[in-house]
Amino acid sequence: MINFIVMKIAEIGLFIAKRRKALKVNQRELASLCGVSEHALCNLERGGGNPTMRLVDSVADALGLELKLVVKDMEAT
């Protein structure tokens, strides 16, 4: 059986903020590493706006994370 976690944008933002803090990187440094604005990163971490996949993937990659898509278990929904 495959285990996976379904996360909403707000949960992804919290996860990213926790990972960034665990790595002792501030928002300005991470934004610079990703080539995104500090404002966009802040919005992502707060679960606000409608972030692009490119933004989420770039931030995840800089934090040593990867995004995965999986097929939903249609019976569970």
- Domains of the chain (ranges; CATH) run 9-62 (1.10.260.40)
Count of CB atoms situated within 10 Å of the CB of 73:
10
Cα–Cα distance measured from residue 66 to residue 77, given in angstroms and rounded to the nearest whole number? 25
Prediction pTM value:
0.80
Question: 13 burial class (0-12, 13-18, 19+ CB within 10 angstroms)?
Answer: buried
- Over residues 47-67, the pLDDT tens digits come to 988 899 999 999 999 999 998
Mean pLDDT over the full length of the chain: 88
Closest CA relative to residue 33, chosen from 22, 41, 45: 41
